[in-house]
Amino acid sequence: MSEAGSNQADVVVVGAGISGLVAARMLQEVGLKVVVLEAHHRVGGRLLSKTLPDGSTFDLGGQWVSPDMPRVMGLIRELGLTTFEQHNSGRIDLAVQPLSSMDQLTQAEWAWVKAQLDFLVESVNVEKPSATPNASALDVQSVEEWKRLNLDSPYLRNLFDQIIRTEYTIEPKDFSVLHLLYSLKSAGGFEGVLGLERGNETLRVREGMQTLCTQLAEQLGDTLRLNCQVYDILHDTQGVTVIAEGLSVRAERVILAIPPNQVTRIDFEPVLPRRRTKLMQRLEMGSVIKCFALYDHPFWRHRPATPIDPDRLLFDDTIDATPYDERNPALVAFIGGDDAVLWSDKPFEIRRRAVLEDLALVFGEEALYPRLYFDHDWLTEPFIGGGYQCYAPPGVMSAGFEELRLPIGRIHWAGTETAVHYYGYIEGAIEAGERAAREVLENRA
């Protein structure tokens, strides 16, 4: 985008993740002049793929989709990308003592807890969580407190903690029951998100998830500007002025497609309503490190994993991460929650050794000797600061969480945290981008 053409636009989109890019393309397709400003040197946001010299691709960020996600599946088909099934081996869930081998009392306790969660999930108002029956009571209680009241078995408590850290990259103490129920309702219920089969994690993209963003960016052309961090947004009844390093763009409207925890780095004039600012300040990003180990052959597919207490392990989950071409058999391990914060400060070699030693506890000595090891620490990712999504500590959801998606004058909001369905997923990010673009178009009519 030339400097001379950078001063005027119909709409500015801040953030070149999947949500912002989808919104920008929708607006550009109907003839609007759009400028996309991205603070980072790349597009994709929380979608980041690593391609090896031999062409094998690994997703360091968002990794899965499912046939039940119409928007992302439609975009994958439109862009000519290829999905393939996730190989269900290399799972720690399969290495811990299976529920089917537990005594009947423990099995009954787990079934009862699932039924309790399913019952509570049904009552959640996903469009307006604060209108959920007993919202305040559900919101002041942490997931940790709920677990201790509803689970007696030490094994099931540990399993529950492991699943929470795997799916939300936070500790049960860190977020409210209402937030858990809301996220479950928005993504299809207990089995799709927390069930051992992980119904929302069935497909991967052969070319890498970030390809969704790089191809959208190519379609947008020179309307996209990288390394362009926004510092100030001036807004009035006539329009907005978006100010970045060496650049000022005047537009009718702006869409902010960045995580809520990053919005607070921007100065607004006039300031945003205090209630909204406070809400975004209280939302925190989860913590996760994704660790990849590549081997000569997928030995974990052909021998049973060693049953082990998950509390003994550094990571909370592992799964087969072998690419479509099978050239680089791989395991990926997820360090989440407080452990991710702790190990983020460790030197790479110490972290590498610890991950491989724990993989060997589960999958045998062969796991100690990968051909290649690499990891991605999302806590150090500029302009994101964690993953997978922002969460609401106790007391936040019932104080107007749904307002995150409401326009403020000529300022509109996208990003997966503003989605109604599939909160925290790629599908939710696309939904939010489409909704924000529609808001802009409806307000121009």
Domain CATH number, residue 38: 3.50.50.60
- Among the three residues 135, 157, 192, which one is the final residue of a domain in this structure? 192
Summarize the confidence of residues 109-127 as an average pLDDT: 93
Determine if residue 38 is labeled as part of a ligand binding site. Answer: yes
The helix/strand/coil state of 414 is coil
The residue written with tokens 């809301």 in the block is 182
pLDDT at 97: 53
pLDDT at 2: 40
Instruction: Compute the Cα dihedral for 209, 211, 215, 220 and give only its sign.
Output: positive
Residues contacting 181, CB < 8 A, separation 6+:
117, 120, 121, 123, 124, 132, 138
pLDDT at 6: 53
Amino acid at 437: A
Q: Nearest CA to 99 among 121, 117, 114, 88?
A: 114
Determine if residue 101 is labeled as part of a ligand binding site. Answer: no
Assess whether 131 and 187 both reside in one domain.
yes
Q: Say if residue 162's pLDDT is above 80.
A: yes
The secondary structure of residue 266, as a DSSP letter, is S
Note the pLDDT tens digit of each residue in 238-273.
999 999 988 999 999 999 999 999 999 999 999 999
The reply to whether 55 falls in a domain is: no
Q: Which of 254-258, 284-288, 315-319, 387-391 has the lowest mean pLDDT?
A: 315-319
Q: Which of 18-32, 302-316, 340-354, 397-411 has the lowest mean pLDDT?
A: 302-316
Q: Nearest CA to 414 among 63, 9, 27?
A: 27
* CA gap 300, 89 in Å, rounded: 7
Q: Say if residue 90's pLDDT is above 80.
A: no
Q: Nearest CA to 203 among 73, 85, 320?
A: 85
Assess whether 104 and 146 both reside in one domain.
yes
* Chain mean pLDDT for the chain: 93
Determine if residue 334 is labeled as part of a ligand binding site. Answer: yes
Determine if residue 230 is labeled as part of a ligand binding site. Answer: yes
Assess whether 438 and 369 both reside in one domain.
no
List the CATH number of the domain containing 133: 1.10.405.10
The reply to whether 68 falls in a domain is: no
pLDDT at 165: 93
Determine if residue 442 is labeled as part of a ligand binding site. Answer: no
Note the pLDDT tens digit of each residue in 355-393.
999 999 999 999 999 999 999 999 999 999 999 999 999
For residue 433, the surrounding DSSP H or E stretch is helix 426-444
Amino acid at 333: A
* CA gap 81, 180 in Å, rounded: 32
Which two structure tokens, joined as six digits, stand for 367?
Answer: 């796991």
Assess whether 257 and 294 both reside in one domain.
no
The reply to whether 314 falls in a domain is: yes
The reply to whether 107 falls in a domain is: yes
Q: How many CB atoms lie within 10 A of CB 328?
A: 21
pLDDT at 198: 56
pLDDT at 37: 98
Structural domain harbouring 163: 99-192
Q: Nearest CA to 211 among 331, 328, 55, 88?
A: 55
* CA gap 210, 205 in Å, rounded: 9
Determine if residue 175 is labeled as part of a ligand binding site. Answer: no
| Res. 5 pLDDT band, cuts 50 70 90 | very low
Largest Cα span, the chain: 72
The reply to whether the predicted model has a pTM over 0.85 is yes
Measured torsion, CA atoms of residues 114, 129, 433, 61, in degrees rounded to the nearest 10 = -40
Assess whether 349 and 306 both reside in one domain.
yes
* Counted domains in the chain: 3
Give helix 70-78 / helix 426-444 axis angle, nearest 10°. Answer: 90
HEC profile of 292-354? EEECCCCHHHCCCCCCCCHHHCCCCEEEECCCCCCCCCEEEEEEECHHHHHHHCCCHHHHHHH
Q: Which of 86-100, 327-341, 405-419 has the lowest mean pLDDT?
A: 86-100
Q: Which of 100-104, 284-288, 392-396 has the lowest mean pLDDT?
A: 100-104
Assess whether 313 and 345 both reside in one domain.
yes
